[in-house]
Chains A and B, each alone.
Chain A
């Protein structure tokens, strides 16, 4: 399987919370990241977490890291239509490379 995997699609209603999940196989990364990509655009770094942390909160975003299960999640509180995009998790690899997940398309219904 892929090194970093995500579910392909998530649909939520505006105002609800969204939880996007990511699993990985290589646990050697120091940092794990969440990026947002809007249609036809590059990637925007949303947040990152150091590998020795369990949780990081940044305004509406909460990142949870379970190192034992190699599971990373991104929770978006009070999801808005402007949050509709593709979300990629990524782990830092050797020589500063980023290894991206397969991406999750978040669709927010008004």
Chain B
């Protein structure tokens, strides 16, 4: 159980275009989803936290107008990279939290590798 999928697995796009990445919880309802980005050989940096039905909370230094997050349902969150630039090339990973008490266990998706040319 507790499977999180991401689509696409990898994407190549041209500078100036927008790219949408989907994150789905397949067998549970995710009250909260998180978006991370990871540069090569580096750790994960949290970009934003999204709760179903409300606006995402962005971390300091993350442009909310550039990285649009929509958490439309308890099983789907999307991240749209608008007007992509080569420096946006990275590995984007989402995670989902089922909610409730206990350990704040997050289930991670397999990641989406974005390359902007």
Contacts and interface: CB of A to CB of B under 8 A. Distances in A.
- Tell whether A pairs with B: yes
Interface of A: 30-31, 33, 35, 40-45, 48, 50, 88, 92, 95-103
Interface of B: 4, 6, 32, 34, 42-46, 49, 57, 93, 95, 97, 103-111, 113
12 contacts: A31-B103, A43-B44, A45-B105, A88-B44, A95-B57, A96-B106, A97-B34, A98-B34, A100-B43, A100-B45, A101-B43, A102-B43
Nearest to B107: A45
B55 to A, nearest CB: 14
A18 B18 CA distance: 43
A36 to B, nearest CB: 10
Contacts of A103: 42-43
User: Chain B's interface: helix, strand, loop or mixed, by majority?
Assistant: strand
A8 B45 CA distance: 17
A97 B106 CA distance: 9
B111 A41 contact: yes
Given A97-B34, A98-B95, A98-B104, 13 more contacts: A40-B111, A40-B113, A41-B110, A42-B93, A42-B108, A42-B109, A42-B110, A44-B108, A88-B44, A96-B49, A96-B97, A99-B46, A103-B43
A33 B57 CA distance: 23
A97 B46 contact: yes
A96 B103 contact: no
Given A96-B97, A97-B46, A100-B43, A43 B32 contact: no
B44 A100 contact: yes
A84 to B, nearest CB: 15
Nearest to B6: A42
B102 to A, nearest CB: 9
